Amino acid sequence: MSVPAAAVGRRPRGDKIRGRAFYVLLLVSVSVGFVLLGTLLVDVLQKGIGYLDPILFTEPASANPDRAGARPAILGTIYMMLILLVVVVPLGVGTAIYLEEYANRERWYNRLLELNIQNLAAVPSIVYGILGLAFLVRGLGLGRVLLAGALILTLLVLPTVIVASREAIRAVPDSIRQGAYALGATQWQVVARQVLPAAVPGIATGSILALARAIGETAPLLLVGALTYVAVDPTLLGSFTALPVQIYQWIARPQDEFRLLAAAGIIVLLAILLTMNAFAIWLRNRYQKRW
């Protein structure tokens, strides 16, 4: 491609204007999200601050917005988080160990397994709710109980934990494994005494982020029966609700005050999420190994 001598040295003005306009467009693209986020936060704070008081944390839901609180919802969220922690982390890490350390990639069933996990990660969350409805609530006859909600959330975030754990395990250099094998360690000894300890920071960070995602999920819980009007503290096999569901219920109420109450609930929810994410990031920065 030959360039005419006159064009060398100075770019035509049209070009420059176009270049600048494009740049502005790009900046707008990047900013749109943040502008909306900022507006959202300000709006929520404005609306909810009035209802952000101890009643929110100590009282159950009520038809009277001045006396309504989110106590069963907050407890429900906390209980489910604890169950999630105990169930989804071992399952996810176990699957990740199997895929990274034990499974022979050439075999078709292992490749299918990987593909399956990739697909599960993209299934709409409400489909998990349908799964729970069919099997746990009606099928197993568990009913609309906390345990059902927790189990469904487990399945929902399991792929996320698996992916994060796999990355953490994969990051451990192979030379470490070779060194351990060469000393006469069995496969499990290599995994449990060298690979896992080195991968713990990444696994912990990934798990916390997955849990944070689970806390914000509403749709599956709607189907698994997070009853929208719960006046008692939740128990494992009793009726339950969760914070996002309570927020939804308040939004759906006609009175304006309930909208403000919903905003207060949102502030609490976002605060919990912010703490968890910040903790996960701090964990990652503090303990991440540099190979």
Partner 1 sequence: MPDMESAPPAAVRIAGVDDKALAERQEAGPTRRDVLFDVAGLTASYSDVPALRDVSLEIYKNYITAFIGPSGCGKSTFIRCFNRMNDLIPTAKVEGTILYHGLDLYGPEVDSVEVRKRIGMVFQKPNPFPKSIYDNVAFGPRVLGWKEGLDERVEQALRQAALWNEVKNRLKASAYSLSGGQQQRLCIARCLAVEPDVILMDEPASALDPISTTSIEDLMHGLKRDYTIVIVTHNMQQAARVADMTAFFSVEVDEESDRRTGILVEYDETPTIFTNPGDKRTEDYVTGRFG
Partner 2 sequence: MATKDVTAGAQPTIRLRAERRRIGEDVIKGVLALCALVSVATTVGIVVALLEPSLEFFREISILDFFSGDRWAPLFNPASFGVQPLLVGTLMVTVWACVVALPFGLGAAIYLSEYARPRVRQTLKPALEVLAGIPTVVYGFFALTFFTPLLDDIGIQVGIFNVLSAGLVMGVMLIPTVASISEDAMTAVPQELRDGAYGLGASRLQVATRIVVPAAVSGIVASYVLAISRAVGETMIVLIAAGGLAQISLDPREPAQTMTAFIGATGIGDVPTGSIEYKTIFAVGLTLFVITFAMNVLSIRLVRKYREIYE
Residue 15: count of CB within 10 angstroms of its CB:
10
SS (H, E, C) 3-63: CCHHHCCCCCHHHHHHHHHHHHHHHHHHHHHHHHHHHHHHHHHHHHHHHCCHHHHHCCCCC
Q: Give me the least distance between CB of 1 and partner 2, in Å please.
A: 6
Q: Which is nearer to partner 2, 15 or 53 (CB)?
A: 15
Residue 101: count of CB within 10 angstroms of its CB:
15
Piece in contact with partner 1 (CB under 8 A), picked from 137-145, 154-162, 189-197, 230-238: 189-197
Q: Which is nearer to partner 1, 194 or 228 (CB)?
A: 194
The yes or no reply on residue 198 touching partner 2 (CB under 8 A) is no
The yes or no reply on residue 194 touching partner 2 (CB under 8 A) is no
The yes or no reply on residue 190 touching partner 2 (CB under 8 A) is no
Q: CA nearest 215: which of 262, 150, 264?
A: 150
Residue 117 binding: pick among partner 2, partner 1, none (C-beta 5-8 Å cut-off by kind):
partner 2
Residue 6 binding: pick among partner 1, partner 2, none (C-beta 5-8 Å cut-off by kind):
none
The yes or no reply on residue 270 touching partner 1 (CB under 8 A) is no
- Span 54-113, contacts to partner 1 by CB under 8 A: 104-106
Q: Which is nearer to partner 1, 30 or 183 (CB)?
A: 183
Question: According to CB under 8 A, which one of 6, 104, 105, 122 is a site residue for partner 2?
Answer: 122
The yes or no reply on residue 183 touching partner 2 (CB under 8 A) is no
d(CA 125, CA 156): 7
Q: Give me the least distance between CB of 238 and partner 2, in Å please.
A: 17
For the chain, the residue count is 291
Write out the two tokens for 65: 């917005």
DSSP codes of every residue in 67-82:
T---HHHHHHHHHHHH
Question: According to CB under 8 A, which one of 133, 142, 180, 272 is a site residue for partner 1?
Answer: 180
The yes or no reply on residue 279 touching partner 2 (CB under 8 A) is no
The yes or no reply on residue 40 touching partner 2 (CB under 8 A) is yes
Q: CA nearest 162: which of 246, 103, 235?
A: 103
Q: Which is nearer to partner 1, 18 or 193 (CB)?
A: 193
- Span 50-109, contacts to partner 2 by CB under 8 A: 90-92, 94-95, 97-99, 102-103
Q: Which is nearer to partner 1, 29 or 104 (CB)?
A: 104
Question: According to CB under 8 A, which one of 198, 200, 227, 251 is a site residue for partner 1?
Answer: 198
d(CA 151, CA 137): 11
Residue 50 binding: pick among partner 1, partner 2, none (C-beta 5-8 Å cut-off by kind):
none
Q: Give me the least distance between CB of 213 and partner 2, in Å please.
A: 7
Residues that bind partner 1 (CB under 8 A): 104-106, 173, 175-176, 178-186, 189, 193-194, 197-198, 289
